[in-house]
């Protein structure tokens, strides 16, 4: 008797439909990863700002070296020599490092900073 009831239950039971494996979630995940990557690159490439007592006119710092080298301004990666950077004039001291050289300057006028050992 129980075998007949069991067979009837199995015959009447319908298997649930197989789960759909959507590609939409994969596309969304890839898009989010790309957006995070772009955000990180933008943060790493931003120019440092000269803060402190501001002077009325902008100034231009030209950073040079005997060969192309990456340099930092106040610890933030600023670019590769040779490069001219426009900053707001300031009385604050900027620390420029590159090519094994450290220079400290006041960005109060247009200047050329040569990173020579």
DSSP designation for 20 = P
pLDDT higher than 90, residue 35: yes
Predicted TM-score of the model (pTM): 0.49
Q: pLDDT grade, residue 17 (50/70/90)? A: low
Q: Which H or E run contains 94? A: strand 93-98
pLDDT at 24: 76
Each domain of the chain, given as residue ranges in start order, spans 48-114
Reported confidence tier of residue 103, pLDDT bands at 50, 70, 90: very high
Q: Which residue has the higher pLDDT, 96 or 44?
A: 96
In angstroms and rounded to an integer, the radius of gyration of the C-alpha atoms of the chain is: 31
């Amino acid at each position: 008797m129980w075998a007949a009831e069991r067979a009837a239950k199995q015959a009447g039971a319908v298997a649930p439909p197989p789960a759909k494996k959507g590609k939409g979630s994969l596309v969304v995940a890839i898009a989010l990863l790309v957006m995070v990557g772009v955000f990180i690159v933008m943060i790493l490439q931003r120019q440092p700002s000269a803060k402190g007592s501001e002077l009325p006119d902008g100034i231009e710092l030209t950073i040079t070296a005997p060969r192309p080298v990456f340099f930092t301004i106040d610890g933030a990666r600023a670019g590769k020599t040779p490069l001219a950077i426009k900053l707001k004039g300031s009385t604050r001291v900027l620390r420029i490092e590159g090519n094994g050289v450290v220079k400290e300057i006041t960005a109060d006028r247009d200047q050329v900073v040569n990173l020579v050992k």
